[in-house]
Structure 1
Amino acid sequence: MLGDAIGATDGNVPASGTLRATSAGQLACFTIEGMIRSHVRDSQGDYRYPRTIWHAYHRWAAGQGIAGIERWQEQDWPDGWLASVPVLKKRRGSAPATVAALQKGVPGRLGAEVYTSIGAHALTRCLPVGLYNRRPWWEAATAAASTHAAEATHAAALGATIVARLSEGQQLARAVDLAERECAADPQLRQGVSVAAAMAAAGSHPRRTEVLTRLAPDARASSALAGGAYVAASFPGREDVKDALLFAASVGDGGHVAAVTGAFLGASHGFDALPVDLVSRLELAWVADTLARDLLTELLDVPAGTGYTPATDPHWGDRYPCW
């Protein structure tokens, strides 16, 4: 969320005031909420992950007031606490490929492309899937494939898997190596994207504007992934996070690169490495913190209960209806 908001400033962060999210940050929030709902449903014996994530993006679009979006129920739509957050109803740029797919009402599927976009939203909104960490490459690719084409889907799979390995404590170079192997082992992802060139460039020519411009020349998901990997590898220290995000945001389509950089460095170092002076101004700080805590609670405690254990929180199902 911090990388997304800094990216929106093109690296020229104002001295005061709120740091606003973009549509990418908003969609990432709904990805996390969809993950939680999916786990609630799965814990009760009914696995519907792809449909639950697809439903989550409909709630975002409904809150935005976008025309042509299917209502999934007549009453209390969109439901759940996240849909009632006022700032998530604010237009913060566009997500044309995602909106077009939602308006069409037909989700794409991994291995059976429906849509042609290779834009970066497929990647940025799916980076949090790495925190789910069952099969992060498959889960991220499935979520991305609902609205985007194979190249963007593969970038999402690799990006989320890097996040998963970083969150386990791996160093970035090792996390990238493991993630590329895991994605390559899946037959549906073998023609995927690689960030090996970006990592090599960071080793030989770090922190170079011209290198970042070459690696991330446009708003493709693969460009954002390569740029984010290059910046994260060029600024590896906990004390470098702020400089890394400002550098990422300053070049070309830096908003997407900054979001990827923030996800990688955040997964590497933890939230307490994030610059407090910027986080304290972050528009979605409370929302992101609440989602992170609730995801952890869901995965560890399963408060809505299972087919074998009773619910420990009678209101959890109202916060996260399992559909």
Structure 2
Amino acid sequence: MSEEVATMTAVWGRAQQQDFRSRVRGCLLGGAVGDALGAGIEFDSLEAIRQAYGAEGVTDYVPAFGRRGAITDDTQMTLFTAEGLIRAQVRRDSGAWHPPTDVHRAYLRWAATQSDWGPDERRKDTGWLAREEWLYSRRAPGRACLAGLGDDRMGTVDQPKNPNSKGCGTVMRSAPFGLLVGWEPQLVFQLAIECAAQTHGHATGMLAAGAFAVIIHALARGEALDHAVQQSLAVLGSRPGHEETTDALRRALGAVRQGLPTANRVEALGEGWTADEALAIAVYCALVAEDVRHGLLLAVNHSGDSDSTGSVCGNLLGVQHGETALPPAWVAELEGRGTILQIADDFAMEMTQAPALHGPAGASSAWLERYPNA
């Protein structure tokens, strides 16, 4: 990946910076809210959900992992994706430029939170996110993610980890790649694929992650969602093995034209356990959403992987409309809200004001302590 073609070239005005920060916050908070809405019903059928919560299904947070508003591994890994991308930008000052490696190291830090009792305070190179004690909790992590990160070898597109896996664990963590708005869509697509290969090697698992990143990228630039989906289809079409992902997105677009949105229309797109199905469900729900609340509830009330489809839908709606469109009561009760806001604001600041934080002319010691370039 060429450093020159991936470098931010835009000059950011204050209004642009504020809009971008709102979209980044909306993307990460929205994904976490959708994740938390689905966390308590992830393995339940639609019938069981309606029996437990009424004909409309869940309409608010329900307890999961001992509390309301609890997030799952989807939000955990998304936060580490964002942190890895920030550290990749910082490490360019040292002459090192290989974002997949930095994201992989971030994922290894996430994997440690799934097995260690808490942060290792002796390690000063881990950065601040890995020292957040509340993240040291297993929240139904995917087997492919754990297996892919079970050793230090980084999977690549040519030699991926878990070559037969196409689970949604690639899509649910890939929104931050799309927030690299200074990059070209094809590069965003490629980076998401390369990082998906670190845990899921099936073409559908990788390509769905890339397609999702391209959709987020277009939305972050202010494009309409239907145009963003068409752009992702265009990028997908040239890649071997794209058929499942392409078909899933086209079925999502077709479902929009079939009438009023219902849980049955969502279930016709699948259950969301695979990457293509999770992406299709989330895209459909975001396209037909009357507002963020309506879209998220539609995305989680179905038989299947409710937290992942809710998370991906929340990423889409959040980046499209910004943080102020999110239901305030859900944001207020969200687990880890402070951490999510901090990583979002740091991401936005790094992408828009990096020269003021680090570079040949000098660096902020506080920033390098948060995001070590070692």
Is the deviation greater in 282-291 or in 199-208?
A: 199-208
Is the deviation greater in 12-21 or in 251-260?
A: 12-21
1:316 offset after TM fit, Å?
A: 0.9
Q: In the alignment, which residue of structure 2 is the partner of 1:6?
A: 37
Give distance in 2, aligned partners of 1:262 and 1:24. 12
Q: In the alignment, which residue of structure 1 is the partner of 2:208?
A: 155
Is the deviation greater in 259-268 or in 126-135?
A: 126-135
1:219-230 correspondence runs (5 A): 219-230=273-284
Partner of residue 59 from structure 1, selected from 103, 109, 121: 109
CA contact 1:37–1:322 (8 Å) conserved in 2: yes
1:218 offset after TM fit, Å?
A: 4.2
1:45 offset after TM fit, Å?
A: 2.8
Name the TM-score, length of structure 2 as normaliser.
0.78
Give distance in 2, aligned partners of 1:125 and 1:322. 23
1:77 offset after TM fit, Å?
A: 6.6
Q: In the alignment, which residue of structure 1 is the partner of 2:74?
A: 24
Secondary structure (helix, strand or coil) at the match of 2:138 reads: coil
Name the TM-score, length of structure 1 as normaliser.
0.90
* Percent of residue pairs identical: 29
- Please say if 1:106 is aligned against 2:160: no
1:246 offset after TM fit, Å?
A: 1.3
Whichever residue aligns with residue 82 of structure 1, its letter is L
Question: What's the CA shift string for 1:233-282, capped at 9, x where partnerless?
Answer: 111x4xx2112111211101222111111111111111110000100001
Q: Please give the root-mean-square deviation of Cα atoms over the aligned residues, in Å.
A: 2.3
1:112 offset after TM fit, Å?
A: 3.5
CA contact 1:44–1:305 (8 Å) conserved in 2: no
CA contact 1:41–1:47 (8 Å) conserved in 2: yes
Give distance in 1, aligned partners of 2:366 and 2:72. 30
Give distance in 2, aligned partners of 1:191 and 1:269. 30
Whichever residue aligns with residue 299 of structure 1, its letter is M
Whichever residue aligns with residue 301 of structure 1, its letter is Q
Give distance in 1, aligned partners of 2:250 and 2:211. 12
Give distance in 2, aligned partners of 1:202 and 1:255. 22
CA contact 1:111–1:188 (8 Å) conserved in 2: no
1:48 offset after TM fit, Å?
A: 2.0
1:64 offset after TM fit, Å?
A: 2.5
1:2 offset after TM fit, Å?
A: 1.1
Give distance in 1, aligned partners of 2:300 and 2:62. 16
Give distance in 2, aligned partners of 1:315 and 1:285. 22
In structure 1, the gaps of 5 or more residues are: 68-72
Whichever residue aligns with residue 262 of structure 1, its letter is G
- Please say if 1:126 is aligned against 2:169: no
1:6 offset after TM fit, Å?
A: 1.0
- Please say if 1:276 is aligned against 2:324: no
1:14 offset after TM fit, Å?
A: 4.2
1:63 offset after TM fit, Å?
A: 2.4
Whichever residue aligns with residue 136 of structure 2, its letter is K
Secondary structure (helix, strand or coil) at the match of 1:280 reads: helix
CA contact 1:7–1:245 (8 Å) conserved in 2: no
Partner of residue 89 from structure 1, selected from 136, 147, 172: 136
CA contact 1:154–1:192 (8 Å) conserved in 2: no
Q: In the alignment, which residue of structure 2 is the partner of 1:285?
A: 337
**Greater relative CO, 1 or 2 (CA 8 Å, sep 6+):** 2
Q: In the alignment, which residue of structure 2 is the partner of 1:214?
A: 268
Whichever residue aligns with residue 282 of structure 2, its letter is G
